[in-house]
Amino acid sequence: MQDWDRILTEHAPAVWAAAYRLLGNAADADECMQEAFVAAVRADGRGGVRDWGAMLRWLVTKRGLDRLRRRLAEKASRGPAVWEALASAGEAPDARMQRAELADGLRAALGRLPDRHAQAFCLRHLEEMSYEDIAGQLQVSVNSVGVILNRARERLRELLKECALEKPK
């Protein structure tokens, strides 16, 4: 029987941070974290878990990517976005806007990547997981992780260029 209080205490902050980095929204991060822990309880019933931290960050990344894809679909059905006020952190409004646009563009591009590519990219570049840990979570070889990451980065470059070309000047 797992000590879920210990697992939650030990891993919840990193799992929530992973969800927030990916989604940029506290409420969505909360929901993704809860979904990840529910999935972890189910996974624990199917067999032993070697690395709870890696597994939970992978689970929250999967759920976060699903949420990003739903956002993209909803946004496409609504039409042009309406800009919301950005919180000030002493930063110039144009700098905040550029940072927000870049983050939104990256989130949109991640949502358009194939699942495995998006997961590997997020686990490596947002969660700073090792190739070995990513390989364990995706159930592929370490060499395959390198190939997947290379393809993900190439496709992200293409998608971000497309996004920049589509923006009105």
Give the up-direction half-sphere exposure of residue 29: CA atoms within 13 A in the CB hemisphere.
Answer: 16
* Chain segment 64-94, per-residue pLDDT in tens: 999 989 888 887 676 554 444 444 456 677 7
| CATH code, 4-166 | 1.20.140.160
Mean per-residue pLDDT over the chain, rounded: 85
- Average pLDDT score over residue span 129-146: 95
Q: Domains of the chain: which residue ranges?
A: 4-166
In this structure, which long-range contacts are made by residues 38-47, counting pairs with CB atoms below 8 Å and at least 24 apart in sequence?
A: 39/63, 40/7, 41/4, 44/2
